[in-house]
Structures are given as structure tokens and as C-alpha cells.
Chains A and B, each alone.
Chain A
Amino acid sequence: MKLVSVLRIILFYLLSVVLATVLGSLVQTQFNLLFLQEMNVPVELPTRLATSWHDLLNFTPLFAIMVAATLLLALPVAEGLGRIFKPWRGLLYLLAGAAGIWVAFTLANYLLPMPTFIAATRVTAGLLCMMLAVGVGSWLFGRLTKPKARRGLRVLG
């Protein structure tokens, strides 16, 4: 593989990590604010933006590590499966990222002293939205690295 191809893949990987991390951070902030609103705590737009910004600065460092490790393992799996089930490549990338971060959450909750490391994932909707966020990051990598379509016989799909 040429050096430029390797650098290209690393760049796309970093882009997908950044996208997944930012989306995940924004998602978990909105759930934390929702938990407060459910207790009748007022959350106006400026507060929502300020809290989202706070978390983009403070939540992302640890979460980015989780996402980076997850995608490092999930992306090759998605690529392998994507080559076999070509029509579902995008979906497979999305699912690989989502399932991967679910494993990472489960592992963190098992290894760390606190029962649930990321509060938003205490509720099913929060967990699914966080999984979707990382799935989208993973999907982006699949999209950016998608081989150019070739004419001719396709064995599967």
C-alpha cells in the first residue's frame, strides 16, 4: 500500500473519531439536560448551548479515547464484512461502530468503580442515541473509503 493511501486512511479514521466524539458529546448533554427538565429545572437555549460547549471541552477527552479504541477494532471488522456483503456496506459500518461502543460502555461499567460511567446511557433511549452517534462516525469512514464502483459480474449483491 502506498504511503499516501495509508495517510489517507489515517486521516479518514481521525475524521470519523472526531465526528463520533462530537456527536456523542452533544447527545449525552441533551439527555443530561432532559433529566433535569424532568425534575422541573428550567433549561433555556443559552444554558443548553453553554452546557453543550462545556461538555465539548470536558467530556470529549475521555470519550474520544473510548471512540478511538472502539473504531480501531470495529472498522476492520466492518470492512471485512462489507467486502462479503457489499450492498450492506454502509449499514455494516454503522452497526459495527454502534455495537463497538456498546461493548466499550459495558466494559467501562464493568471495570470502573461507578455502576454507569456515562449518565446518558442509564436510559435505553440515551444508550441507543450514543450508539447511533458512534455508528454515524463509523459509517463516515466506510463512505470515505468506499471503493469506486466497477462494472462487471458481482458475485454477492
Chain B
Amino acid sequence: MLNKALVSAVLLLAASASVQAADYKIEAVAEGLSFPWSLAFLPDGGMLVTERAGRLRLINAAGELQAEPISGVPEAFVNSQAGLMGLALAPDFAESGELFMSYACGTAEANHTCLASAHFNGKALENTQEIFRVQPAKKGSAHYGGRIAFLPDNTLLLTLGDGFDYREQAQNTANHLGSIVRLNRDGSAPQDNPFVAQEGAQPELFSIGHRSVQAILYDAQTQRIFSNEHGPRGGDEVNLIEAGKNYGWPKITYGIDYDGAQVSPYTELPGLEQPLLHWTPSIAPSGMTLYRGELFPQWQGNLLVSALAGKEVRRVVLDGTKVVEQQSLFKELNARFRDVRTGPDGAVYLLTDSANGSVLRVTPQ
């Protein structure tokens, strides 16, 4: 368990051995969370955290984790990678109180990635309703995607996965598997979605050819959408997402299957997008933020990518859309990281992925 004393001790040790670790300090905001998955910042200074086990937790403005989970959360199918996952506040949350949650729904034999909206009254969720469900149902509890990002036009992007055994379906526009979808706030498909005019295609599709999309963000400054996704053995990717584009999985990949076999002999084919960056061996990227805070001027405009298997946060320095440098951060914690966020205070917030997971706050030393 990452308690405050341990974090401090680790950092003292790290600071003596590493210039980079001396640049920041890390404090635990909340502990004892069961596989925390996603974090959102409330206007009053508090935070909401999803736990994969199917709970939504409140950390109040004083930084105190409330013992009782928030009621009104949709019932999630919880198993392996399945559970309550993404969380996003509506852009007008301060007035509307509306938030969105992604979760696995159904049974082991037939389940989906689902999206629900709800109204948060400060204590509980009200009017929780499912607004979108991936079609078709799949078997097994792998590759859901589940991250949510709002675009400036008040639509939202929801990332999905290929369901593992259904990888070829990522190329099939007749279903949602292995795609990123763009939705109105009521779950309907915007009429200007890129596949709306294609006969037989699902109108919610925004981009296709994805394996298991773990993060998505919209950068207002550059008007770019970034995502990351898990490859199999190798081939983890950061992608620049554009409407209607095909990101190639499983026709092209830089990874191989877990059993050592090639998924595809190709890494490039005409009409398929190349990743901005790919990692082999895999670091298993999870969350991602594009740092625009003020506390770390040296990280300004950099992608911070949290990693599970890599047990680090990878800082990716971009020159436009070109990756010019990478740096490993927070390795000294030896923790799997599920999410990384920029807080409204400019601090970097981390979620550690364990049965005793934590919310950590990173500020300059």
C-alpha cells in the first residue's frame, strides 16, 4: 500500500539518486481505493474517482475521501478488465451537474461497453440512465476502451476496444467494436459523424481500426485529438485522431500476439494511419494528459502518458505532431499507473492501479 510515509521515504531515497526525482514531490490525496480508474475535478475543489469494482467515490474539497460510495451508479459487470471505468463531467457541469460514466454491462457470456449519464447533486447521482451501448454483445471480459473526452461542439468521444477475440471487427463499420464513437449528450449520433452516409455503417463511429483505446484527450490550443491504445506484445500506440480515419488494427501493427505469432506481417498499408508514436516492448499505456498547467513550465505542451506494465509516466515532448524526446517519470514508486490528469491547480494527479490504489498529487519540490 502506498501510504504517505512510504511515498515520502521513497522520494527521499529517489531524490538522493536522481536529479529528476528531486524536481517534484508526491503526496497521497486518497488511499485504499479498489483499482481506481478515472478521475474528475469538481468545481468546488473536490474530486470524483471511479473504482473498477463499480463504485464512485467522492474526495471533498478538503481532500477527505468520503467513506460511503456515491449512490445511483449504474450496475457494472465486474470481472478482470470489466467494471466501472471512465468518468467525465459535462462542460457545463457547474450549472447542469451532468456527468458521464462508461462501464461494462451485461454478463460474462454477453457484455458491452456502456455509457450512462447522470446528475450529481453533490452527494448522490440522480436520473442515471444508459445512453449508449456497444453493439454487438461480446463474450469475455477484455478490451472495453472506456475513456471519455468532450469536444468544443458539446459532443463527446467514447473510446472502445475490440473485445480481444473479435479483432477483425475493428475493421467492420457495421458494428462498434474496435472504434472511437462520437455521441451527442443524449447518446444519439451527430448527423455530421464521418460514417453517417456510409450504407450499413454504425452512425456513431468516429474512427476505426483500434485495438483497446485507453486514453483520449482534446487539446483546445492545437485543436488536436490524441489517443493511446494497447498493442498486443509490443505495438502500443499514441495516435492523432481524425474523423473517418482507419488506424489499421489488425491489418497493420508493430506488435505480435502474446503467443509469439504475427497478427499481421504488415506495419504499413495504404489508407491506414500510422501512429504518432509506438512502443515495443509494451509499456501498457493507460491515461494521458497534455500538460497545460503552470506548476511545471518544463512540461508545458508535453503528453504525460501513464503506464501499467511500464510502472511509469512517460513524458512525451512534441514538436507539432513529431515526437522529439521521451522521459520516464515516477518509476521510483514502482506502481502501475491507471490514469494521469492535470488538475485545475496545475498539479499532476496519478491513480495507482491496485486493490489498495491511491490518488497521488505531484507538485514542484
Contact = CB atoms under 8 A, between A and B. Distances in A.
Interface string A70-107: 00000000000000000000000000000000000000
Q: For A33, A54, A113, A119, which residue has the most chain B Cβ atoms within 10 angstroms?
A: A119
B251 A36 contact: yes
Given A41-B266, A116-B164, A59 B251 contact: no
Contact of B259 (A33, A54, A59): A59
A29 B168 contact: no
B209 to A, nearest CB: 10
A120 to B, nearest CB: 8
B251 A58 contact: no
B142 A114 contact: yes
A113 B212 CA distance: 15
A43 B168 CA distance: 16
Contacts of A36: 250-251, 264
B260 A55 contact: yes
Contacts of A113: 80, 142
A111 interface: no
Nearest to B163: A115
Contacts of A7: none
A116 B265 contact: no
B265 A58 contact: no
Contacts, number: 68
Given A39-B171, A41-B251, A41-B266, A115 B164 contact: yes
Category for how many chain A residues contact B:
20 to 34
Contacts of B25: none
Contacts of B80: 113
Interface string A55-69: 100111111000000
Contacts of B262: 29, 32, 51, 54-55, 58
B186 interface: no
Interface residues of B, number: 23
Interface in A12-38: 25, 28-29, 32-33, 35-36, 38
Nearest to B233: A58
Contacts of B242: none
Contact of A115 (B139, B260, B269): B139
A153 interface: no
A152 B50 CA distance: 77
B168 A58 contact: no
Given A41-B266, A51-B262, A119 B142 contact: no
A58 B256 CA distance: 9
Given A115-B164, A116-B164, A55 B251 contact: no
23 contacts: A29-B262, A35-B250, A36-B250, A36-B264, A38-B168, A39-B171, A41-B251, A41-B264, A41-B266, A43-B265, A47-B265, A51-B262, A54-B262, A59-B261, A60-B260, A62-B259, A62-B260, A63-B259, A112-B258, A113-B142, A114-B142, A114-B258, A119-B257
Given A32-B264, A58-B261, A61-B260, 11 more contacts: A36-B264, A41-B251, A51-B265, A55-B260, A58-B256, A58-B260, A58-B262, A114-B164, A114-B258, A118-B259, A119-B259
